[in-house]
Amino acid sequence: MSWMKALENYARTAPEELPKDILLSSTEHTVTVKDAYPKAMYHYLVLPRLPSSLVSSSSRISSLQSLLSGDKEDALRVVKILGDDAELAKSHILEEMRKKHGFEWDVNIGFHAVPSMDHLHTHVISSDLISPALKNKKHYNSFHPTLGFFLHLNDVLEWLTEEKLAGKLHINSAKYEGLLKTDLACFKCDEPFKQIPRLKEHLEDEWKKEKRTAVKQKAMKRVHGTDDGEAQRPAKKTKLASTDETPRTPNKLSEANKAESLA
């Protein structure tokens, strides 16, 4: 089997037959697995299961590009279902963050504009981008939350629901691939970096800073009697339940990128 087919293979396998250390959860329509080469502390992939009753042909869900170039109602249905199940994975991640680190940070949900693996998949990835598997500029830029290559699922939903986008949507691969060559810069503070090892050290420092601030804020709230209880909140019984308490996913795709996607 070609390595590019690994995700498609998961989608075709009955969830109960997938290895326990790979599977997070499954529903009638989707399966959520651990990314085998995580590019952040928490990284899952939500895949539509195959065969799928969500679309008229399996080729429609071979990629975001094929989905968007097909029937718009089908595309909307698939993206909404992936989004719902990605929110469940996000809730699970937030719970793990609270348990292990005592605070929550952003989790991004979206697609790579030009994927490397066959079969549609949504990334659910913590925003730290701290991982030994994140090794080069392409890896980093592909998950940079505002560069444009990472298409936030909420933005894709917006494209599909905007009246004026009644025609077919098209992803211009060459333009998006160009974004991967963008010079390295921290997605939080914009500081430029020449080499990935230095940027990785910086990202760790940024995360530690975020943790210190969150812990301090919690302590302040306790002192002033306005503790929001995040650290002490008991683990949710329904560990995959969606919640409004979680930080919002950034929805920062620029108008320019939106226009490009239609080019």
Give 6 or 214: the residue with its C-beta nearer to ligand AMP.
6
Give 157 or 231: the residue with its C-beta nearer to ligand AMP.
157
What single-letter amino acid sits at 88?
Answer: L
Question: Minimal distance in Å, beta carbon 244 to ligand AMP?
Answer: 28
Question: Minimal distance in Å, beta carbon 111 to ligand AMP?
Answer: 7
Question: Minimal distance in Å, beta carbon 245 to ligand AMP?
Answer: 28
Residues that bind ligand AMP (CB under 6 A): 6, 33, 35-37, 112, 115-117
Give 179 or 218: the residue with its C-beta nearer to ligand AMP.
179
- Look up residue 115 and give its two tokens: 């994927």
Give 150 or 193: the residue with its C-beta nearer to ligand AMP.
150
The verdict on whether 170 is a catalytic residue reads no
Active-site choice (43, 112, 119, 121): 121
Three-state DSSP string of the chain: CCHHHHHHHHHHCCHHHCCCCCEEEECCCEEEEECCCCCCCCEEEEEECCCCCCCCCHHHHCCHHHHHCCCHHHHHHHHHHHHHHHHHHHHHHHHHHHHHHCCCCCEEEEEECCCCCCCCCEEEEECCCCCCCCCCHHHHHHHCCCCCCEEEHHHHHHHHHCHHHCCCCCCCHHHHHHHCCCCCECCCCCCECCCHHHHHHHHHHHHHHHHHHHHHHHHHHHHCCCCCCCCCCCCCCCCCCCCCCCCCCCCCCCHHHHHHHCC
Question: Minimal distance in Å, beta carbon 11 to ligand AMP?
Answer: 11
Give 103 or 114: the residue with its C-beta nearer to ligand AMP.
114
Question: Minimal distance in Å, beta carbon 235 to ligand AMP?
Answer: 26
Give catalytic residue positions. Answer: 121
